[in-house]
Amino acid sequence: MAVQVGDLAGKAVLVTGSSTGIGAAVARGFGAQGMRVAVHGNSNMEQAEQVAADIRAAGGNAAVLRADVRDREACARLVQEAHAALGALDVLVNNAGGVVDRSPIRDATDLLFDQVMALNATSVFACSRAALPIMEAAGGGAIISTTSLAARNGGGGRSVLYAAAKGFVSSFTRGLAKEVARFNIRVNAVAPGVIDKPNKSWTTPPHQVEAALRMTPMRRQGTVEECVGAYLYLASGELSSFVTGQVIEVNGGLYMP
């Protein structure tokens, strides 16, 4: 992205789930702004290293960290490690997440429920909780979480648990924004619609993607790069100083039917 946002250069950001997909694009986007970026991966550390290498090759500064964000203690450690590696933590992006598996609710196992909630909801709570004292002590900061269109429309077929976990992320964003506004910490979220990921590892069946596209005024999927601007905007105090508790929809005009 050629656009430079004045106040981001030199700031420190942790992007969870930034080895692939939207998170990788966001990490690269922040790196291109001259930010110090903690790239985070779990099962795919080679890809995390590659994202960090890309950021460094473009003149940026990047550290690579590993954690399973389904584990609350691992989340706390991850945030502490990012703070230590970067020397500050101005922005936290809670991006790691995913559908895990699809199931009608009557057949959904306790294990699936626990896994979906741990990955998408617990991680956002645990990483945010760990970042708050750091940001409070520093005089402010920005937390941005990746929610989903699913939080509004209940999700595509057999992904109710995912949609409900993302509903948690959207509500958590609004509530936490109110709680920490007095510490100059802004809390917002980005809700992607149907985004075409480079690695195509998503679990959305093709017929569901086609159905969504029929309802999308722009008649196409978005790209991960097209998500980046919303994160830059929400991270920048210069651009969004009076914006908190908001969910920015990046979906080509696809609203709840």
Residue ranges in contact with ligand NAD by CB under 6 A: 17, 19-23, 41-42, 44, 68-70, 95-98, 119, 146, 148, 192, 194-195, 197, 201-202
Measured from the CB of residue 186, what is the shortest distance to ligand NAD in angstroms?
20
Task: Supply 176's token pair.
Answer: 């936490």
* Of 237 and 254, CB closest to ligand NAD: 254
CA 167 to chain centre: 14
For residues 237, 239, 244, 245, the Cα torsion angle rounded to the nearest 10 degrees is -130
* Of 61 and 203, CB closest to ligand NAD: 203
* Of 22 and 132, CB closest to ligand NAD: 22
Active-site residue identified among 162, 231, 233, 255 = 162
Number of neighbours of residue 100 by Cβ within 10 angstroms: 22
Distances (CA, A) of 94 to 78, 108, 125, 222: 12, 26, 9, 20
Query: Quick check: is 162 catalytic?
Result: yes
Cα(1)–Cα(10) distance, rounded to whole angstroms?
17
Q: Of 120, 114, 203, whose CA–CA distance to 167 is shortest?
A: 120
H-state helical runs in the chain: 21-32, 45-57, 72-86, 110-117, 123-138, 150-153, 160-180, 206-214, 225-235, 237-240
* Of 113 and 183, CB closest to ligand NAD: 113
Cα(233)–Cα(252) distance, rounded to whole angstroms?
18
Measured from the CB of residue 14, what is the shortest distance to ligand NAD in angstroms?
12
- Residue nearest to ligand NAD as judged by C-beta position: 21
Measured from the CB of residue 182, what is the shortest distance to ligand NAD in angstroms?
28
Measured from the CB of residue 46, what is the shortest distance to ligand NAD in angstroms?
11
Measured from the CB of residue 170, what is the shortest distance to ligand NAD in angstroms?
11
* Of 72 and 197, CB closest to ligand NAD: 197
Q: Catalytic positions, please?
A: 162
